[in-house]
Amino acid sequence: MNKIGITTTVPIEILLAAGYQPVDLNNVFIADPNPERLINIAERAGFPLNCCSWIKGIYGACLEHKIDTILCVTTGDCSNTVMLMEVLKLKGIKTIPFAYPDRPDRQKMQDALESLAKTLNTTLDAAGQVKEELKPCRRLALKLDELTWKQGVASGLENHLWLVSSSDFNQDYHNYQKELKELVEKCLKRPSYPPDWLRIAYIGVPSVYGQDLYKYLETKGARVVFNEIQRQFAMPHPGNSLAEQYSNYTYPYSIYDRLKDITAELNKRRVDGVIHYVQAFCYRGIGDIIFRNKLKLPILTLEGNDEFSLTHHLKTRVEAFLDMLHRSRRRTKIA
Ligand code: SF4
């Protein structure tokens, strides 16, 4: 299969039906043993210092892994991708634009999907068959999610890793299914986390800290029970058609659509506090104003740029936040 780079979660059913193997360049970037190297490639090419690290990392990963075709989401993800696409064109890389509708409208989504299928010389019927083939992978990802918040036998990090990689199923959905099935079986034999551990929600784009944040939380008696966007990548509401599935996917749309999903999950998962991650130089950071206004739980906002682990300063902030949540839990118990 020819590889096709993707810059965010896209309707991969269509890409697979067209005979492409999707490669999520975000995952390639962040999983690289030396992600700074990929950022340096972009900066040497002229990307400004005040450009988001994910965009620079995607560019570096695309060149480094010699991806010659890339599907760029022009509406519903990030305005920087539009200019990234132009620069990639300059480098001789074939770029295919895909625009999510401006709102989650089933008919508009159907039109967008049909147009993408036509561009890639496939059909929505063929993509619908791939949707069926991917069902076991998506079900397992959502099962792992349930094992995280409901049974407490999967860690926040495992949850993050497997859900975030459902954007391209680690480039091999058969293997993804096999390995995730094994993990789910392993989790079912584990004891659950202690009930007095704090329950944390992680909202916002995946962080550049890699595994560090999740591991650090666990050293302080707290664990992530909700990874908002990662869960969306796994398509928690697949519906009966691709148009329905991608209209129910909240990430490309208004923050208020995301809020409905977040609020319902915070209640259901009995969350104590929220960590909102924002990426430096990302327009989505402004949404912090809305989350702080609308969410009724304590929120810690963390901003990351190109530090690929938790600095001492960040650890101190996280620790102070957890202390406050622990104290508030104790107060509630006494009352
Ligand atoms: S973090 Fe923000 S600026 Fe960076 S790629 Fe994602 S949406 Fe764009």
**CATH number reported for the structural domain that contains residue 105 in this entry:** 3.40.50.11890
Q: What is the pLDDT of residue 335?
A: 67
Residue 306 domain-assigned (yes or no): no
**DSSP label at 305?**
S
Closest CA to ligand 1's atom 8: 78
Q: Is residue 67 part of a domain?
A: yes
Domain count, the chain: 1
What is the model's pLDDT at position 332?
A: 77
100: left (phi over 0), alpha (psi -120 to 50) or beta: beta
Measure 279 CA to ligand 1 centroid, in angstroms.
7
- The verdict on the CB of residue 53 being under 6 Å from ligand 1 is no
**Is residue 325 one of the residues assigned to a domain?**
no
Within a domain: 302: no
What's the 282 CA to ligand 1 centre distance in angstroms?
5
Residues paired with residue 303 on neighbouring β-strands, in sequence order: 278
CB 280 within 8 A of CB 312: no
55 CB near ligand 1 (under 6 Å): yes
Q: Considering the domain boundaries, does residue 179 fall inside one?
A: no
Q: Round to whole Å and give the CA distance between 331 and 313.
A: 27
d(CA 186, CA 102): 41
Question: In whole angstroms, what is the distance from residue 159 CA to residue 148 CA?
Answer: 7
Helices (H), the chain: 12-17, 25-31, 35-44, 53-64, 79-90, 106-119, 124-149, 156-164, 173-188, 212-219, 228-233, 242-248, 255-268, 288-294, 312-334
What range does the domain containing 75 cover?
A: 2-124
Q: What is the mean pLDDT of each run of 10 residues along the chain (335 residues)?
A: 95 98 96 96 96 97 96 92 96 96 96 98 98 98 98 98 97 98 98 96 94 96 98 96 97 96 97 97 95 97 94 97 93 73
Is 229 near ligand 1, meaning CB less than 6 Å away? no
Q: In testing the pocket of ligand 1, which one of 51, 59, 78 has its CB within 8 Å of the most ligand atoms? A: 78
Structure tokens at 261: 């999903």
Task: Provide the pLDDT for residue 1.
Answer: 81
What pLDDT sits at residue 108? 97
Å from CA of 214 to ligand 1 middle: 21
Considering the domain boundaries, does residue 91 fall inside one?
yes
In ligand 1, the atom with minimum distance to the C-alpha of 53 is 4
Task: Kindly state if the Cβ of 279 falls inside 6 Å of ligand 1.
Answer: yes
- Residue 99 lies inside a defined structural domain of this protein: yes
Six-digit token string for 277: 């991650």
Instruction: With respect to residue 319, please indicate whether it lies within any of the assigned structural domains.
Output: no
Name the closest-CA residue to atom 7, ligand 1: 78
